[in-house]
Amino acid sequence: MEKIFGNIINGIEETGGERIELKSPVDGSLIGYIIDTDKDTVERAIQSSREAFNKFYLESTIKSRQELIGKLTDIVQEKATIYADLESKNTGKTIRQSTFMDIPLAISHIRYFAETDEFKFQRKITHPEYPGTEGIVQNAPMGVVASIAPWNVPFLMAVWKIIPPVLAGNAVVIKPSHYTPLTAIELVKDMKAAGFPDGLVNLVNGTGRTTGNLLVNSDHVDMVSFTGSTPTGSRIMEQAAKNIKKVSLELGGKSPNIVFADADLDHAVKGVIFGIFLNAGQLCESASRLIIEESIMDKFLQKVKTYLDSMKSGNPMDFETDISAITTKEQKEKIESLISQTVKSGGNIFYSKNMQGTPDKGTYFPPTLLTGLTPGQQISDEEIFGPVLTVYPFKSEKEAIDLANSTKYGLAAGIWTKDIEKAGRVASMIEAGTVWVNEYHLLSAAAPRGGFKKSGIGRELGLEGILEYTQTRHIFYGNNESGMSDVAYGILIKTE
């Protein structure tokens, strides 16, 4: 029997419409079908969210919203193994990563938003120009938020795209990637079970070219939150400008890991491997550039090679497998093309892992190290989004900083050194929204993340990630105890 994963509108799953095939990158098997949502359905979903927002926001408080989010946390926690299985089958990431990292991390982030006391709906101010008066500054919700999520970490992204805006008082229409919608669909269903009002969070499936464009161009959407490529983010920003719509964009990355000679080398090797080969390099902040002090480069790369040799390839649904699949065939083809161009232009494949044991019809690419590169080459400047580490030696601290900042991106970076003063000095010079020191890929729900330069605008997570989904309102409470009003009004109105 064909499995159809439908849209969820006003609490009801709808399976009518044109279908898109959904295949697993693990082995190429057919998972089922999703719907490529048409314009009328998208607008109906938006209208449903608008109606839910108008009612929910008036009736709810921060506390009541957090109580619902807390109930959702408990439901998702009980279903953690189900979520992990869906995530790995749909994305091709290892079941070990889904079970011990992606799903638990997402659950902890839901719980953070259920419990944080950082977000205050309003604050009092005084007006120094007008003694005796006071004001209230409110963080009011935007209204209906269109959240457009990528395919690489679908469950974590669904959490980030839904929970903070709802906590801030908004309604959401989420469009998961048409490649990896399964855990987002499950989350929206579980929100209904947790007691969220029908329509507050609606889900519409489809491609970016169809459903995504319909959401961005709708006059009835108040804000767009998008995570994906820089070219797509640029187009969304242009489209949103036509009806003055707020956007939050988390876009591409070309993140560096800077390793100094005084670093704990074994710890740094592990961090560099984790930084690029987790999820087969398919993470926005993946550290795809190794910027390493020249005096230790050869020794360091040999240590990297030794660890990579020990990593097990195979079926990602096997708990013993270390290496994830490439989630889409299109992405694998892009990686292959970039590698081919690099070799033709003089780059060297220092290492490429044997990928024995992977399912024949799955989508895989070997962990690869490239040397002999210079800034300005395509592979040095463009996001790879795959398990490919490019290597650049440096001799001075300034050269390392210049190399780190030499791309149009600025999402994340890592610094490896035992000299904490140097680490802080270098970190403050790196053009990136997140800089890890002697760690990588460790995400905290309390810490804002986002990009400098062409890696985006706006922030997710932390207090800043909640405030992103609000707009400020100032309420002025006046009186005339000081007589200032009479002075002001007297400019225009003559009194006896």
Q: What amino acid positions are annotated as catalytic residues? A: 250
Q: How far apart are CA 277 and CA 283, in angstroms?
A: 9
For residue 411, give both structure tokens. Answer: 């999402």
| CA nearest to 443, candidates 165, 108, 154, 166 | 108
| CA nearest to 2, candidates 23, 29, 26, 31 | 31
Q: How far apart are CA 417 and CA 436, in angstroms?
A: 11
Place of tokens 């105890």: 481
Q: How far apart are CA 42 and CA 219, in angstroms?
A: 12
Is the separation of the CB atoms in 211 and 217 below 8 Å? no
For 477, other C-beta atoms within 10 Å of its C-beta total 11
Start-to-end Cα distance in the chain: 87
**Alpha-carbon separation of residue 75 from 27, 56, 69, 114 (angstroms):** 30, 22, 10, 13
Q: How far apart are CA 305 and CA 353, in angstroms?
A: 9
225 three-state secondary structure: strand
Q: How far apart are CA 422 and CA 430, in angstroms?
A: 13
Q: How far apart are CA 328 and CA 325, in angstroms?
A: 9
Helix (H) or strand (E) holding 207: none
Q: How far apart are CA 208 and CA 2, in angstroms?
A: 24
Beta bridge partners of 259: 292, 416
Give 153's Cβ-side CA count (13 Å radius).
Answer: 24
What is 248-306 written as a DSSP string? EEE-----EEEE-TTS-HHHHHHHHHHHHHGGGG-STT---EEEEEGGGHHHHHHHHHH
Burial tier of 51 (Cβ tally within 10 Å: 0-12, 13-18, 19+)? middle
For residue 396, give both structure tokens. Answer: 């001075």
Q: How far apart are CA 57 and CA 170, in angstroms?
A: 7
Pairing assessment for the beta strands 4-5 and 30-35 based on DSSP bridges? parallel
- Reading across the β-sheet that carries 470-477, which strands appear in turn? 122-126, 134-141, 470-477
35 three-state secondary structure: strand
Q: Using the 8-state DSSP alphabet, how is residue 312 labeled?
A: P
